[in-house]
Amino acid sequence: MEKVVITIARQYGSGGKTVGRMLAEDMGIPFYDREILEKASEDSGVHVRLFGAADEKLKKSAKLLGSRVYSGEVLEPEDKEFVSNDNLFNLTARTIKRLADTESCVIIGRCADFILKDYPNVASVFVHASREFCLARAMERNSMSEKEMKRFIERTDKYRGDFYKYYTGHEWQDLRNYDLCLNSGKLGFEKTVEEIKAYLKVRFS
């Protein structure tokens, strides 16, 4: 198999990040989650704290107004908007494209499926599960009450949906955006990994 990039979008608590890490380890390829921000910082010369701060600003917004659909542009360092939230996204997208051009890897979130939509070597995956499964798994990893956790899951998934809509113009949970959609609650993580690998074998063999 030539270079292949797997992008994974996931509901909170579905284990999509765990699946992505397991897949990367199984295939012997790099895994990128927040590490993408570190790479973007290295590529652009912008301190990684600014990338993280942009994430937090968006999370604290009650609603992302309108949209600013990503089209590939990147502002120059001399531009006064060079470290704006939108251009930090552009810089992150540039890094994601560079990775897709140079290596096989697994990328979590960051609208990577949309950024790489025209790349023939990319497979986009959406990992989901029932509310009950997501809640139970999240409760295992956090010290919140069930009521607090339900609200946290709703807020997190809403933020992911708003972020995706803002930068892509599409609905995050519209399964037509992805090549493969898998219910990790029914399959379990290991079989979810196996299903992704089977898809890659069929598509890229």
Mean pLDDT by 10-residue block, N- to C-terminus, for the chain (205 residues)? 91 96 98 94 90 68 68 87 89 96 96 96 97 93 89 93 92 95 97 98 92
The residue range of the domain holding 91 is 5-204
Q: What is d(CA 101, CA 96) in angstroms, rounded to the nearest whole number?
A: 9
Domain count, the chain: 1
Which helix or strand (DSSP H or E) is residue 127 part of? strand 122-128
Please list the residues that pair with 108 across neighbouring strands: 8
Q: Find out whether 51 and 40 touch, Cβ atoms under 8 Å.
A: yes
CATH of the domain at 131: 3.40.50.300
Give the ranges where the chain is alpha helix by DSSP (H).
Answer: 16-27, 35-44, 48-60, 85-102, 112-115, 131-141, 146-168, 184-187, 189-204
pTM of the model: 0.91
- Residues in CB range of 142: below 8 A, 6 or more apart: 149, 152
How many residues are there in the chain? 205
